[in-house]
């Protein structure tokens, strides 16, 4: 599998990351072991989990897999987990305070059975806690050998910049990655979050790159999702995902385009959608979950698939979200514009709106 650098570090990670959110719930432990084995065998190495996935069971399963496999296999894994949330309702059992992150990190290390986590990510922002408090704890954890690198997840553009700028001012470890929701059906991060990430050399690890399964082509416009699918589930999280994606003609037009292109090139819709996002600016690796080994292997094909410029342009046109008015619409983009190079934008404020991309990537 192709590899990319983990942000501005020297670590190489696979172009597709393995998500383990359902290890211990939808995916039994034996199946999880088989998926991990197949992922490593295929050349994958970036494995992502979190302390709250199935209330810690996901981490525990990964820890038991580590213990059951030889060192030459487990040494290949670049292990990522997260801290911020907790199933408990106790008032201090969440957030980015020194107290809670200390407990959360130590518990993750114990469940995973490792001395060091390669990428420790803040699962979401906590504006009740001073940024300096959070950053100083993380820096101490790096120096103590408990963490190699720091990442973020679900941060807005201004929060990302706040963290980076504060870390630089303090002279402490700064984040190297951001894990946002991003797919052909959810592109709004292109207005501000991706430009902020590119400006700071932050790599993206998109979650839900298949939009909760909608980009697999198994759902039909105007139809009712089967009860054994996530969109048809009665679970509140899945219902929310279904409502978010299903109530949009633009989304269904995008799904139709993905299915059409997949047929034209002899690929699956999921492979087309994953190939598109894997080659977006600043993206390191989309995070892909799998219920079965066959499901995983099919998705990993996307690491070797590159869409031609015409098909990429067609997908970007049909999936382009409408920014509305100020500040992301045409008027706001015009205000931020400054033609410097042959009448073209030298450094666009956003990607949506026709500005040139300084990275040279699609």
Are 199 and 164 in contact by the 8 Å Cβ rule? The answer is no
Kindly name the residue from 22, 53, 120, 182 that is annotated as catalytic. Answer: 53
| Cα–Cα nearest to 141, from 164, 109, 94 | 109
CA–centroid distance for 224 within its chain: 28
| Residue 309 three-state SS | helix
Look up 53 and say whether it is catalytic: yes
The CA distances from residue 258 to 229, 251, 269, in Å, are 19, 11, 6
| Residue 350 three-state SS | coil
Q: Report the alpha-carbon distance of residue 292 to residue 262 in Å, rounded.
A: 22
User: Which alpha helices (H) appear in the chain, and where do they start and end?
Assistant: 29-41, 57-68, 71-74, 98-112, 131-143, 157-170, 193-199, 236-246, 249-265, 269-278, 293-300, 309-319, 330-336
CA atoms within 13 A on the CB side of 309: 3
| Cα–Cα nearest to 261, from 196, 217, 292 | 217
Which residue is listed with tokens 């120096």? Answer: 143
Positions annotated as catalytic residues are 53
């Amino acid at each position: 599998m192709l590899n990319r650098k983990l942000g501005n570090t020297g670590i190489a990670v696979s172009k597709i990351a393995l998500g383990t959110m359902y290890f211990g719930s939808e995916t039994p432990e034996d199946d999880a072991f088989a998926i991990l084995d197949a992922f490593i065998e295929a050349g994958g190495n970036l494995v992502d989990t979190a302390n709250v996935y199935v209330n810690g069971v996901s981490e525990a399963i990964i820890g038991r897999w580590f213990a059951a496999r030889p060192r030459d296999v487990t040494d290949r894994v670049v292990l990522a987990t997260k801290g911020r949330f907790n199933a408990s309702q106790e008032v201090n059992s969440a957030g980015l305070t020194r107290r809670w992150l200390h407990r959360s990190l130590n518990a993750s290390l114990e469940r995973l059975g490792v001395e060091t986590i390669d990428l420790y990510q803040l699962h979401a922002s906590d504006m009740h806690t001073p940024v300096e408090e959070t950053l100083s704890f993380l820096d101490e954890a790096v120096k103590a050998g408990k963490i190699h690198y720091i990442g973020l997840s679900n941060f807005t553009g201004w929060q990302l910049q706040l963290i980076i700028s504060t870390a630089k001012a303090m002279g402490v470890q700064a984040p190297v990655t951001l894990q946002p929701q991003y797919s052909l059906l959810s592109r709004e991060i292109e207005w501000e979050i991706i430009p902020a990430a590119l400006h700071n050399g932050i790599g993206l690890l998109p979650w839900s790159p298949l939009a909760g399964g909608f980009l697999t082509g198994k759902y039909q416009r105007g139809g009712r999702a089967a009860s054994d699918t996530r969109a048809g589930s009665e679970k509140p999280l899945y219902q929310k995902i279904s409502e978010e994606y299903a109530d949009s003609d633009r989304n269904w037009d995008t799904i139709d385009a993905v299915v059409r292109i997949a047929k034209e090139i002899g690929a699956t819709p999921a492979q087309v959608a994953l190939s598109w996002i894997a080659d977006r600016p600043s993206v390191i690796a989309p995070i892909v979950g799998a219920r079965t080994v066959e499901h995983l292997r099919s998705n990993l094909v996307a690491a070797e698939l590159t869409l031609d410029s015409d098909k990429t342009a067609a997908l970007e046109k049909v999936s382009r979200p409408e920014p509305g008015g100020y500040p992301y619409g045409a008027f706001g983009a015009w205000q931020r514009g400054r033609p410097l190079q042959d009448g073209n934008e030298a450094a666009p404020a956003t990607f949506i709106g026709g500005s040139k991309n300084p990275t040279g990537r699609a």
